[in-house]
Structure 1
């Protein structure tokens, strides 16, 4: 009953508008990459790791303390994040430090947090 309110029963098409928007659409490969990005960050632990890394470069030990998790659990998630290109690492002596791969990831996280907090 309520579904009929949301249906568009008209047959008219604004061809100029449709063509303009269609020409501005990204290709399917770009949308596949975007979807894969959202899948990798959709895990609570991974988003927490990325948020922590948006604040500072950290090693596995630091992240384990911050997130109250085991080092092996953090390492596993970091492997996934690094493999997907979301984080990078650098070695200094015995330590490996992780950081976000670029500032765009930080901006996405910050904007998403603003959105989530706005909806509360």
Structure 2
């Protein structure tokens, strides 16, 4: 049974723990979280469009995207001179959604994500 846990990475001695911490560190930035939310909602966006959405300069957004790309959280597609960014997979957006749900709990009361009439995250 222990071998099964190690194979999937959920054991306390998993070699993935340190990498998971690096992912959390990468996501510990409000601009990067906003970029991930924008890409989750839109699928694929250019730097300029992302900059408009997150209200940051294109240069700042580009630097954040470069870090997210190195971490393999986002990937790119080039069309002529324009580069479009998209999430590499659904895991980063799920981490962000879970973090926002946890943040909602810290406000007290019944969090929005527990309402039956809510929109999906």
* Alignment TM-score, normalising by the size of structure 1: 0.75
Q: Provide the residue aligned with 2:116 in structure 1.
A: none
Q: Provide the residue aligned with 1:44 in structure 2.
A: 30
1:35 paired to 2:21: yes
Cα deviation, residue 99, structure 1: 0.9
Distance 2:12 2:93 in 1: 22
Q: Secondary structure at the match of 2:86?
A: strand
Instruction: Provide structure 2 residue ranges, at least 5 long, that are not aligned to the other structure.
Output: 108-121
Q: Which contiguous aligned blocks of 4+ residues in structure 1 show a shift greater than 2 angstroms?
A: 26-29
1:115 paired to 2:84: no
Residue 81 (structure 2) aligned to one of 73, 94, 100:
94
> What are the superposed Cα offsets for residues 36-91 of structure 1, whole Å, 9 maximum, x if unpaired?
00001101111111111111111101011111211111101100000011111111
- How many residues align? The count is 100
Distance 1:110 1:69 in 2: 22
Residue 90 (structure 2) aligned to one of 82, 97, 103:
103
* Alignment TM-score, normalising by the size of structure 2: 0.74
Cα deviation, residue 26, structure 1: 4.4
Instruction: Provide structure 1 residue ranges, at least 5 long, that are not aligned to the other structure.
Output: 1-18
Distance 1:97 1:80 in 2: 15
> What are the superposed Cα offsets for residues 20-40 of structure 1, whole Å, 9 maximum, x if unpaired?
xx9762434210100000001
Residue 72 (structure 1) aligned to one of 59, 65, 80:
59
Q: Secondary structure at the match of 1:98?
A: strand
